[in-house]
Amino acid sequence: MLKAQFDMMANYNAFANHRLFEAAATLSEVDYRADQGAFFKSVEGTLNHLLVADRIWMKRFTGAGAAPDRLDAILFRDFAALRAAREAEDSRIRVYVDALTGDEILRKITYRSITSAKLIEQPMWQALAHFFNHQTHHRGQVHALLTRITGAAPELDLLIYQRLAKAGAA
The pLDDT value given to residue 133: 97
Cβ atoms of 27 and 150 closer than 8 Å: yes
Closest Cα to residue 111, out of 98, 97, 123? 123
The pLDDT value given to residue 43: 98
**Coil/strand/helix, residue 124:** helix
The pLDDT value given to residue 170: 82
**Coil/strand/helix, residue 120:** strand
Element spanning 111, H or E: strand 108-112
Looking at the chain, the number of H-run helices and the number of E-run strands are 7, 2
DSSP-derived secondary structure letter, 107: S
- Walking along the chain (170 residues) 10 residues at a time, the average pLDDT comes out as 94 98 98 96 98 97 91 96 98 98 95 90 97 97 97 95 91
The total number of residues written for the chain in this structure: 170
The pLDDT value given to residue 34: 97
The pLDDT value given to residue 83: 98
Cβ atoms of 87 and 75 closer than 8 Å: no
The pLDDT value given to residue 135: 97
Output the pTM of the full model.
0.94
The pLDDT value given to residue 35: 97
| Domains parsed from the chain with CATH numbers | 2-166 (1.20.120.450)
The pLDDT value given to residue 115: 86
